[in-house]
């Protein structure tokens, strides 16, 4: 899915901006209009993801521990409470049971999840529960999940979350702008969100299950990166279709094209419906094959998940003991 611009956009040397946040670039409508995705080819590639590589035994355990460090441990339910979030934060600090870490020879390794993700009203609770750690708080914003409030309300919500202590903001784009091909409108919307985030990293949720086509997904990905997104994210987790492999392939290839164009690395976050350790391995393999080892860490790759952690712990216990454990042995996951 090579993206080529018809304009005279200059590309800096590859990798010349390693370690820096994505500052965005001027909107290149010629580039956006030139994007077209071959769905059947992408789906053929997606169908091979679980078959191309087999990760077993100690190598599987190592990959699963890597997956744990890339989880945005999330609770976004209507019945969320302060005590629920406090327990989630405790799990974030000790995501894998100590006896399993000892059996794996990892007891001296400070393994935590990548972040804790909550609604705005529970940021202060999470901040208190995570005091003394370096685990960032991510807050969903901009009228999550539907994004059907005003731009002024969305900007105020972002600023309020940053003031409350969120170091990452997961914003939601207006799907109507994508469906109507209003790329200028989408660019300026996301650019304003990025400015409101300030020092907080911005993860841009495309809600791909509501964008109709993979071409729309690719175009929206590029526009959001041009507007300064630090991450692009598949879904809110509330759509009927969330993180699926064809969408993932389309988005990571868009990230690769943007890196080749600008030299800036943008992160990727699949979210919604990722519940099994096997699925986590497939997503990690996708990142390794399409983007390379530099993206295999929480600075550039995250899972948006809640129940995934429990299955990873069960698989690790199976590796250690040879038996699968009951779910109650892995609380808050």
Active site residue 154: no
Give the separation between CA 262 and CA 222, rounded to whole angstroms.
12
Average pLDDT over residues 282-296: 96
Determine the length of the chain.
333
Quick count: other Cβ atoms within 10 Å of Cβ 91?
A: 19
Higher pLDDT, 109 or 157: 157
10 pLDDT above the threshold of 50: no
For residue 201, what are the CA distances in angstroms to 59, 79, 300?
Answer: 32, 27, 11
Nearest to 231 by CA among 261, 190, 272, 275: 190
Average pLDDT for 273-287: 96
Burial of residue 221 (number of CB atoms within 10 Å: 0-12, 13-18, 19+):
buried
Whole-number Å distance between alpha carbons of 312 and 333: 10
The one catalytic residue in 28, 72, 170, 257 is: 170
Pairing of strands 267-269, 231-233: parallel
Q: Which of 91, 177, 233, 265 is catalytic?
A: 233
Residue 252 and residue 37: Cα distance in Å, rounded? 13
Active site residue 91: no
Mean pLDDT of 268-287: 96
**Paired residues of 271 in beta bridges:** 304
- Residue 232 is given by DSSP the state E
Give which of 189, 222, 205, 251 is closest to 74, Cα–Cα: 205
Bridge partners (DSSP) of residue 138 are: 117, 168
Choose the weakest-confidence range: 47-61, 86-100, 164-178, 237-251: 47-61
* Model confidence at 313: pLDDT above 70: yes
In order of their start, the domains of the chain are 29-329 (3.20.20.70)
Question: 9 pLDDT exceeds 80?
Answer: no
pLDDT at 13 over 50: no
Predicted pLDDT of residue 321? 94
pLDDT band at 332 (very low <50, low <70, confident <90, very high): low
- Please tell me the distance from the alpha carbon of residue 243 to that of residue 235, in angstroms, as a whole number: 6
Annotated catalytic residue 233:
yes
DSSP string covering 227-253: TT-SEEE---S-SSS-S-HHHHHHHHH
């Amino acid at each position: 899915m090579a993206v080529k611009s018809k304009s005279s956009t200059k590309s800096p040397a590859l990798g010349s901006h390693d370690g820096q946040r994505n500052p965005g670039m001027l909107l290149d409508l010629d580039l956006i209009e030139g994007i077209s995705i071959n769905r059947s080819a992408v789906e053929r590639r997606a169908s091979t993801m679980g078959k191309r590589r087999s990760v077993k035994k100690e190598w599987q355990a190592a990959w699963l521990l890597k997956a744990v460090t890339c989880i945005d441990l999330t609770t976004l339910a209507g019945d969320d409470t302060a005590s629920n979030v406090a327990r989630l934060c405790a799990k974030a600090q000790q995501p894998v049971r100590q006896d399993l870490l000892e059996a794996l020879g990892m007891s001296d390794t400070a393994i935590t999840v990548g972040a804790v993700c909550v609604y705005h009203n529970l940021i202060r609770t999470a901040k208190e529960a995570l005091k003394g750690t370096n685990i960032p708080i991510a807050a969903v914003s901009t009228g999550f999940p539907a994004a059907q409030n005003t731009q002024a309300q969305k900007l105020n919500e972002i600023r309020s979350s940053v003031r409350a202590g969120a170091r990452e903001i997961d914003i939601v784009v207006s799907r109507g702008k994508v469906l109507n091909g209003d790329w200028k409108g989408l660019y300026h919307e996301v650019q304003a969100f990025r400015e409101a985030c300030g020092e907080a990293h911005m993860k841009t949720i495309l809600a791909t299950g509501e964008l109709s086509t993979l071409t729309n997904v690719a175009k929206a990905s590029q526009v959001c990166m041009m507007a300064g997104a630090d991450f692009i994210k598949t879904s809110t987790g509330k759509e009927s279709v969330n993180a699926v492999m064809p969408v993932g392939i389309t988005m990571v290839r868009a990230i690769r094209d943007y890196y080749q164009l600008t030299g800036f690395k943008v992160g990727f976050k699949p979210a919604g419906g990722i519940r099994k350790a096997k699925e986590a391995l497939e997503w990690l393999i996708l990142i390794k094959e399409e983007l390379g080892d530099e993206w295999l860490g929480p600075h550039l790759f995250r899972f948006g998940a809640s129940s995934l952690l429990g299955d990873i712990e069960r698989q690790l216990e199976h590796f250690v003991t040879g038996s699968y454990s009951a779910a109650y042995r892995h609380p808050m996951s």
